Amino acid sequence: MKRIAGGLARLILLPLYLVVGAARLLWAGLRVALGPVLRRVDRSPRFGGVITALSSSIAPQRGVPLLVGAGLVVLSFGISGLLVILLVETGHFDSGLYWLCIPAALLHLGVLTGFVGIMLAVPLGQGYRDR
CA angle 89, 94, 100 (to 5 degrees): 75
- Tell me the domain boundaries of the chain: 63-131
pLDDT at 24: 92
pLDDT at 96: 67
Compute how many other C-beta atoms are within 10 angstroms of the C-beta atom of residue 125. 11
Cβ 60 vs Cβ 127: under 8 Å: yes
Rounded CA gap, 39 and 48, in Å? 13
Rounded CA gap, 122 and 126, in Å? 8
Positions of the chain with pLDDT lower than 70, given as ranges: 1-2, 93-97, 122-131
Q: 72, 25, 51, 73: which is closest to 120 by C-alpha?
A: 51
Residue/partner pairs of 124-131 with CB below 8 Å, 24 or more apart: 124/55, 124/58, 124/59, 124/62, 125/59, 127/59, 127/60, 127/61, 127/62, 128/59, 128/60, 129/60
Question: Any alpha helices (H) in 43-100, and if so which ranges?
Answer: 45-58, 64-90, 93-96
pLDDT at 51: 80
Has this prediction a pTM greater than 0.85? no
